[in-house]
Structure 1
Amino acid sequence: MSIVPHTNRRDFLKLAAASGGGLLIGFNWTNAQAQPAVLDATSAEALAASIEFNSYLSISPQGVVTIFSPNPEVGQGIKTAFPIVVAEELDVDWKQVKVAQAPLDTVKFQRQVAGGSGSIPHSWKRLRQAGATTRQLFINTAAKRWGVDATACTTNSGTVIHTASGKKLTYGELAEEASKMPTPTDVPLKDPKDFKLIGSTIRNVDNKEIITGKPLFGVDFYRDGMLFAVIKRPEAFGLKLKSVDAVAAKAMPGIVDVVTFDNSVAVLGKSTWQVLKAREALKVTYEKEAALESTADHDRIFDELLNGSTATVRRQDGDVEAAFKNAAKVIKSEYQCPFLPHSPMEPMNFFAHVRPDGAELIGPTQTPERARGDAAKFLNLPQEKITVEMTRMGGGFGRRLATDFVMEAVKVSALAKAPVKVMWTREDDMTGGDYRPAVKYRFEAALDAEGTMIGYKLRGAGINAGNPTREHNFPSGTVANLLIDSAEHKSPITTGPWRAPITNFLAYAEQAFLDEVATAAGKDPIAFRLDLLEKAKKSPVGDVKYDIDRMIAVTKLAAEKANWGKAKTADGKAVAQGFSLYYSHLSYVAQIGEVTMKNGKPELTKIIAAVDCGIVINQSGARQQVMGGVVDGIGHAMYGNLSFKDGAPEQANFNTYKMIRMANVPAVEVHFVDNGIEPTGLGEPALPPTGGAVANAIFKATGKRLYKQPFVEQDVLKGLS
């Protein structure tokens, strides 16, 4: 296995041509039909431009297979997973495969987005069909040369074999001839039992480059002659730029210019150090444009929203009022979470070179098409005049779905009339907005005399959260009388998607509350949930938009693997266990947290995760995604807190904003449900249930419930580091 370094489309086509002519296959992801053409060094780019491809597969005469991976790589492993799917159906040895990152090209590709855990579900069939069609093309070519029926031939590791005679030809040997053959149609796909690559363990294609420090990330990008820029943004949300005195800054060494745009000031120079020092010399004044909100204001606003009468009804089943009026017992609890920054290890950065006739954009973005569209609109240029090249990203978690940092580079380059790379510091990144919304929930449950939940209420109050509920998720469909509504406060504090949007906190709150309800009903927490699911399976209430059988299966797998209710430490002491279950982004995850007491404080020692994401493409990548989601879920539930004072974040770097450390990470055990269902996403689904598993295990160990995040600021955990 080898990797083609980060490159652009022209370089890739030259690569394909330089491989000795070779066969370049275009995958049309709409119909997955391959369209072949032999490319030489002079015609490669022209021919590619004239054929409406959506993805490429190049096979050299030496049998080297090069696959262009179109989606942004943000650490979710898509740059490895996509080629695995193609290579599986193509039936080539993974050692023969090279992978290259594609630039943005919406004519040749679809859904070049890293978000919503949607890349694999969207592309699974298309990628398989593309590989299978190409494999059949080589079989047909070899059969014609040998004068035999194609059905008498098979393939193995990039070689076509005539079974009866033992004749063999490699794909490389057939490439030129195959390019003149008609494209096969209605090609069958492999039976999953015959998979060789899918389901195996394959290393990430960029591992070596990452470990050896090769320039893969946006922050690494450099071009001779470019200027570096840093931005001075308002110090608080709700402030408007009033005046700028840049005399001292402009006089400093290496500074080329200082420009003002929108509500910001950019300092341009020849090095990051020089522009950072010059930014400190700026004298900027602001005026108030909107309310300068503090966390204390948000606490008050939450209570007003939860107690108000203007909530929007999201779902209503049965007669909720009657259920609560006739209940034998009512449980009521509130859960609250703070704003959170995304905190990727690589702060925001982007390169732009705006010219009169077009623009070139290069950097880490989860939404390259959106970046191009926003740039085109601002520059009043056709989109085809703007190129976007994607680098690997040092984390995104939803932050790089936005294009504010891209547009800063575009605007500054346009003003400076020069190629510019905008760089953010860690402080810029944490105070620059687009946070996870702060939310507060109120849950209520009505139980009858037998401990059956006959009524359920949820009100979500969010700050710039839109709808902070997921009204069709579990337990909707399992309770006869249900009301889910929401209310929102519009704030000048900017918010946006944060890994597993909304569900990243809602799942914890819901699962902690259901645990509390199960306790009040005198029932085992897992048995309580299974009872709800079994009843819904027989007689669902309203729309059920999740698969009940899959939720039941993943729950039982987690209970089995964790030895639920019977787990003990090595020295025979009982382990406190907490259960959590959630469905998001088409996948199902059940988790059991394990806690033991140490020096009078609960210590999280293990998380057991059972996951149903359908067919696992890459065991290595899938496990890393689940483990990473669990660790992220623990870290932000336990430690993350961004508070505000007069519109300004009170935490600006990791000395005041705590991230999870290696010493805080428990053992994480991952198990996958093997059901042969088409694969779904994994970038987000493992995070939402984690907080609930941790909180419920802590309750089991201490008898204390956790109603607010971060957990370490609550009484039961105070003093933990």
Structure 2
Amino acid sequence: MTFDRSSPGAYADLSRRNFLINSAVAGSGLVLSLSLPFGQGKAVGNDSFVPNAFIRIGTDGQIVLTMPYVEMGQGTYTSIPMLIAEELEVGLKQVRIEHAPPNEKLYANPLLGVQATGNSNAIRGAWKPLRETAAAARIMLIAAAASRWGVDAGSCHADAGEVVHAPSGRRLRYGELAAEAARMPVPKDVALKPAEEFKLIGTPAKRLDASGKVNGAAVYGIDARPPGVKIATLAQSPVFGGRLKSVDDTAAKAVRGVRQIVRLDDAVAVVADHMGAAKKGLEALKVEWDEGAHAGLGTQDIARELEQATRKSGPVAQNIGDADKAMANAAMRVEASYHLPFLAHATMEPMNCTVHFRGTECELWVGTQAIARVQAMAAKAAGLPVEKVTVHNHLIGGGFGRRLEADGAVRAVEVAKQVDGPVKVVWTREEDIQHDMYRPYWVDRIAAGLDKSGKPVAWINRFAGSSVIARWLPSAFKDGLDPDTTEGAIDLVYALPNFHVEYVRIEPPGIPTAFWRSVGPSHNVFVTESFIDELAAAAGQDEVAYRRALLDHNPRAKAVLDLAAEKASWSSPLPKGRGRGIALQYVFGSYLAQVAEVEVAKDGSVRVHRVVCVMDCGTVINPDTVEAQIQSGVMFGVTAALYGEITLKNGRIEQANFDTYQMLRINEAPAIEVHLVKSTEPPGGMGEAGTSGIVPAICNAVFAATGKRLRKMPIDSNALKA
């Protein structure tokens, strides 16, 4: 797989139509774009539309996909080319990818409305538009061949990158037809291949990016090395909101290889010939900080404010029936309060960005999930018009939502403005963890009423925490609510006749919050699936049977639940100290049931031995990628359940590296089984679903093993001692 880094400037200003075509110029070939209206088919502004992608077929037959999404390990750069190759009738390796430049009008995800990769939306956003684009190209190539031969297009078909005239056996390669195809009329109605004719979609395909990552040819943001680049690392105020007071850089300047000390309002950077010298120089600095208003802040202060907020009413996220009346008449009432901590992203590739500031223009090399956002914020920091800022995107060594933020790029621009020539700003692991933008702290106060048979007749949930959407995409935050914050707390898979959910937005002082893998559901699924287990226990019923009785209206949810129970041997006995727990969810457009089998030792430590996952994500593009995504999400979630917690003391983040912010070790990794339910529904999201469901499954398994209910994460081994 190769990446074309040439600038696709020829793609500016396309006219407003469902299918758009730029005619061939000087024999350059066919350039095809699909343009879709914003969201549900509405125009943005006067003439602005949100295109999804471009296909370019050169006279050499090379097919180039300008990729509007980014690859951060999830397999996007294999699965999305499969969509193109399927409809174009070419081999997967015939598709070359170029990173899309920043351009929200051309490359915004139609489901998000912005140019970003996140919320498990890449395949969902690309599924129909990209296939239609490729199918239109195929139809036009066939029309060009038929015109040249003077035959009916219906007697021709595409095969392996060629157009074939079956009666005569004549064949023409796509490259030979590209210029003529560009002059063919754009088809008004495009018939997509039916599922039974798929050759690629649904088959296991080897990752196209794997070889480059193995042999070192792949280029990540941290690998960018423009000529003459210097390396910088930095220290930012240890308390968010603090300021730089004074710096004694005498010792730092004496370090061999150190070239410059850069002072900012709230940070100091050391610029050197290499990272080793930059780190030594940073350690040699004597820095004094004005810690500001948050110097005394602790996690308990934030938790207390959130807990108090759950005692006050907030905007109603969903209301069905009359939950208060049903609760008053219930035979039994069950109540609980749940706490989820701040979490860091801790990506393998720490935050970094390379910048060359030239005064009247600025150039960046970075790996980002939101390239247009980076361009806009970098331009603001540089004091330049957006068109004077060039951003080169690269592969990402772990995103998890962290690289939806542009703070790393902004910081690099601030440093680069004081440096002559390009400078690569690399955060140390400590700086990366202690100046992350964190998964919000959440507190839920939830209650349910049961009838005499134990069936839920009322469900009331009020939760408090930060709204990342309100900051990141203010237009999507309306009437005190946003779809991310509430996903997984509303529209549950269960039939609940009286249902009421409220959200109270509280932005914590002194600590920034951001999207974290599985976003809103990372919090909401933990609460709903832990609490439904509590209801089953209160009713004295089996947890799977209890859920199943609430799913008669939802056959897809029931199917994944039943298959998970079967594959996990749900009813079979386990040794003492072991338990099984289950969680069921419908988030990101996918159904997933997960069964965790855990062991609780006498010292309270928890070991997850086995995880069984059953997924109905609609049409599967690449089953290998789906399996890998679930495995990855499970590992991420198990880490959070056992170890994940960011705490504040005296305004400072207490965790600093992988010794204090622990990752799941190889020897702790559970056996993970993945079973896929065959479906012809449109694809659902994959990248985040595995994370949100595993945490409650583990906690429910701990209850099965010990009889102790866990309502606060991460798991406290002291509370589980025999």
**TM band (smaller chain):** 0.7 to 0.9
Q: How does 1:226-625 map to 2 (within 5 A)?
A: 226-291=229-294, 292-306=296-310, 308-309=311-312, 311-462=314-465, 469-470=486-487, 471-474=489-492, 478-486=496-504, 488=506, 490-534=508-552, 537=553, 548-566=554-572, 576-595=579-598, 603-625=607-629
**What amino acid sits opposite 1:559 in the alignment?**
A
For 2:243 and 2:495, the matched residues in 1 are separated by: 48
CA contact (8 A) 1:29 1:54 kept: no
- Pick from 679, 692, 701 the counterpart of residue 688 of structure 1: 692
For 2:665 and 2:490, the matched residues in 1 are separated by: 35
SS state of the match for residue 207, structure 2? coil
SS state of the match for residue 362, structure 1? strand
TM-score by length of 2: 0.87
Higher mean alpha-carbon deviation, 248-257 vs 700-709, is at 248-257
- Pick from 697, 713, 718 the counterpart of residue 709 of structure 1: 713
CA contact (8 A) 2:379 2:389 kept: yes
For 1:321 and 1:110, the matched residues in 2 are separated by: 43
Sort the Cα spacing of 1:482 and 1:419 in 2 relative to 1 into closer, same or farther, 3 A: same
Deviations 1:258-293 (A, max 9, x none): 222231112222221112111122222222422321
Question: How far off is 1:55 after superposition?
Answer: 4.0
Question: How far off is 1:695 after superposition?
Answer: 1.5
Q: Which residue of 2 aligns with 1:68?
A: 66
CA contact (8 A) 1:639 1:710 kept: yes
For 2:68 and 2:350, the matched residues in 1 are separated by: 23
- Pick from 650, 666, 673 the counterpart of residue 646 of structure 1: 650
Q: Which residue of 2 aligns with 1:631?
A: 635
Question: How far off is 1:624 after superposition?
Answer: 1.1
Deviations 1:378-406 (A, max 9, x none): 33433222111111000010111111100
For 2:277 and 2:299, the matched residues in 1 are separated by: 35
The answer on 1:35 being equivalent to 2:22 is yes
Question: How far off is 1:44 after superposition?
Answer: 12
Q: How does 1:195-234 map to 2 (within 5 A)?
A: 195-234=198-237
Q: Which residue of 1 aligns with 2:86?
A: 88
**What amino acid sits opposite 2:416 in the alignment?**
S
For 1:553 and 1:236, the matched residues in 2 are separated by: 49
SS state of the match for residue 688, structure 1? helix
Question: How far off is 1:149 after superposition?
Answer: 0.5
Question: How far off is 1:602 after superposition?
Answer: 6.0
Q: Which residue of 2 aligns with 1:669?
A: 673
For 2:188 and 2:234, the matched residues in 1 are separated by: 54
For 2:80 and 2:144, the matched residues in 1 are separated by: 26
- Pick from 114, 117, 121 the counterpart of residue 118 of structure 1: 121
Question: How far off is 1:642 after superposition?
Answer: 1.9
Question: How far off is 1:679 after superposition?
Answer: 1.3
**What amino acid sits opposite 1:474 in the alignment?**
L
Question: How far off is 1:302 after superposition?
Answer: 4.3
Sort the Cα spacing of 1:312 and 1:93 in 2 relative to 1 into closer, same or farther, 3 A: closer
For 2:415 and 2:126, the matched residues in 1 are separated by: 36
Question: How far off is 1:650 after superposition?
Answer: 1.6
Question: How far off is 1:59 after superposition?
Answer: 3.6
**What amino acid sits opposite 1:413 in the alignment?**
A
Q: Which residue of 2 aligns with 1:540?
A: none
SS state of the match for residue 24, structure 2? strand
Sort the Cα spacing of 1:70 and 1:326 in 2 relative to 1 into closer, same or farther, 3 A: closer
Sort the Cα spacing of 1:134 and 1:573 in 2 relative to 1 into closer, same or farther, 3 A: farther
The answer on 1:138 being equivalent to 2:141 is yes
Higher mean alpha-carbon deviation, 487-496 vs 347-356, is at 487-496
Sort the Cα spacing of 1:462 and 1:187 in 2 relative to 1 into closer, same or farther, 3 A: closer
Deviations 1:186-244 (A, max 9, x none): 23111111011111111221100111122411111112212222122112235332223
**What amino acid sits opposite 2:691 in the alignment?**
L
For 1:193 and 1:512, the matched residues in 2 are separated by: 40
Higher mean alpha-carbon deviation, 57-66 vs 271-280, is at 57-66
CA contact (8 A) 1:590 1:611 kept: yes
CA contact (8 A) 1:34 1:134 kept: no
CA contact (8 A) 2:53 2:130 kept: no
For 1:701 and 1:31, the matched residues in 2 are separated by: 57
User: Gaps (5+ residues) in structure 1?
Assistant: 14-23, 46-51, 538-547
TM-score by length of 1: 0.87
The answer on 1:170 being equivalent to 2:184 is no
For 1:461 and 1:181, the matched residues in 2 are separated by: 57
**What amino acid sits opposite 2:544 in the alignment?**
I
User: Gaps (5+ residues) in structure 2?
Assistant: 32-48, 110-114, 471-480
**What amino acid sits opposite 1:561 in the alignment?**
K
For 2:441 and 2:621, the matched residues in 1 are separated by: 35
For 1:296 and 1:253, the matched residues in 2 are separated by: 44
Higher mean alpha-carbon deviation, 695-704 vs 556-565, is at 556-565
RMSD of aligned Cα (Å): 3.1
For 1:144 and 1:613, the matched residues in 2 are separated by: 42
For 1:57 and 1:301, the matched residues in 2 are separated by: 52
Question: How far off is 1:28 after superposition?
Answer: 8.9
Sort the Cα spacing of 1:474 and 1:125 in 2 relative to 1 into closer, same or farther, 3 A: same
Number of equivalenced pairs:
682
**What amino acid sits opposite 1:658 in the alignment?**
Q
CA contact (8 A) 2:355 2:424 kept: yes
For 1:642 and 1:415, the matched residues in 2 are separated by: 33
CA contact (8 A) 2:4 2:96 kept: no
SS state of the match for residue 37, structure 1? coil
SS state of the match for residue 323, structure 1? helix
Deviations 1:325-367 (A, max 9, x none): 3332222222222211101000000011122332111111111
SS state of the match for residue 308, structure 2? helix
SS state of the match for residue 498, structure 1? coil
- Pick from 691, 699, 702 the counterpart of residue 703 of structure 2: 699
CA contact (8 A) 2:344 2:437 kept: yes
**What amino acid sits opposite 1:364 in the alignment?**
G
For 1:171 and 1:82, the matched residues in 2 are separated by: 20
Q: Which residue of 2 aligns with 1:21?
A: none
For 2:633 and 2:19, the matched residues in 1 are separated by: 32
Sort the Cα spacing of 1:182 and 1:275 in 2 relative to 1 into closer, same or farther, 3 A: same
Question: How far off is 1:421 after superposition?
Answer: 1.1
Percent of aligned pairs sharing the same letter: 37
SS state of the match for residue 293, structure 2? coil
